[in-house]
Chains A and B, each alone.
Chain A
Amino acid sequence: DAKTTQPPSMDCAEGRAANLPCNHSTISGNEYVYWYRQIHSQGPQYIIHGLKNNETNEMASLIITEDRKSSTLILPHATLRDTAVYYCIVAPSSGTYKYIFGTGTRLKVLA
């Protein structure tokens, strides 16, 4: 079973920030939080990952709570091309990462 819980769907207006939550209350100390997205039926695309500090890259920001039991992926200015299924995954930082995917959040960006 997936170690994360995400809402099944969300809508966001184009140009607004999209905030996608993820609960991972059983996360272990050596596990990172990864976010991927899947547009249509393409292969999932890496977005961002973090351990305990907030992270930002050119695609998104990742906010991880201090107790690391939940996180939020932020797309600062959502566009129609951000419509996708977003997956939150926890996996250890060493060894081979056998990702366990849940069903993700289907984000629809509205014009």
Chain B
Amino acid sequence: NAGVTQTPKFQVLKTGQSMTLQCAQDMNHNSMYWYRQDPGMGLRLIYYSASEGTTDKGEVPNGYNVSRLNKREFSLRLESAAPSQTSVYFCASSTKTGGFYGYTFGSGTRLTVV
């Protein structure tokens, strides 16, 4: 099915370890986003990419890096994981074409840092 695919779905890291969260969309969307959601909270924007080759910081970028590998893929990297980064991470994509201006979200990556 068309949509946004995130891998892995679950991950446990030790403090100081690094990892990359992968996101891919097959809807030919121009813009992609990474959000995090802490328990009982709304989503907070980490980084976004308006188009291939561009990335910008969101509300909470510290401790993260991103790569827009191509139009389909947008990865999020934690260089040195900290317990404060325990969260659910959502990737999303959007486009202005076709008369629809909303986001399509992935199913999330549940990350625990111990």
Contacts and interface: CB of A to CB of B under 8 A. Distances in A.
Interface of A: 2, 32, 34, 36, 41-46, 49, 87, 93-104
A87 B37 CA distance: 13
A53 B59 CA distance: 31
Q: Is the interface of A mostly helix, strand, loop or mixed?
A: loop
Contacts of A93: 101
Interface string B44-84: 11001010000000110000000000000000000000000
Of A43, A100, A101, A102, chain B has the most CB atoms within 10 Å of the CB of A43
Interface of B: 4, 31, 33, 35, 37, 40-45, 48, 50, 58-59, 88, 90, 92, 94, 96, 101-108, 110
Given A34-B102, A98-B58, A43 B96 contact: no
B106 A96 contact: no
B102 A96 contact: no
Given A43-B105, A49-B102, A101-B42, 19 more contacts: A2-B42, A36-B103, A41-B108, A41-B110, A43-B90, A43-B92, A44-B43, A46-B102, A46-B103, A49-B101, A87-B42, A93-B101, A96-B48, A96-B94, A97-B94, A98-B33, A98-B48, A98-B58, A103-B42
